[in-house]
Amino acid sequence: MSEPKIAQKSPIVQKVEPGTYYWCSCGQSKGQPFCDGSHKGTGFAPLKTEITEAKTVAWCGCKHTKNAPFCDGSHSGLA
């Protein structure tokens, strides 16, 4: 698998609390935007992200962001 699966063509906006999160980079997780181990054997790995304060986050849903794990608008250019 050389390209990630597009989970959705919009960000996943959530309120998050401080903690450690593992963002799905392959797009196959059933629990988007977080890793559930579905990447095994794909060459992809989750991205560990530390959130230090409670806030609203726009996680990348298309998996093509240049600012992983956060949305940078890349989904607007996907076919």
The model's pLDDT over 60-74, given as tens digits with 9 standing for 90+, comes to: 999 999 999 999 999
Task: Map out the domains of the chain as residue ranges.
Answer: 12-77
Confidence category of residue 57, pLDDT binned at 50, 70, 90:
very high
Give the pTM. Answer: 0.93
Q: Which helix (H) or strand (E) holds 64?
A: none
The model's pLDDT over 11-55, given as tens digits with 9 standing for 90+, comes to: 999 999 999 999 999 999 999 999 999 999 999 999 999 999 999
> 14-35 burial by CB neighbour count: b if 16+ within 10 A, else e?
eeeeeeebbbbbbbbbeebbbb
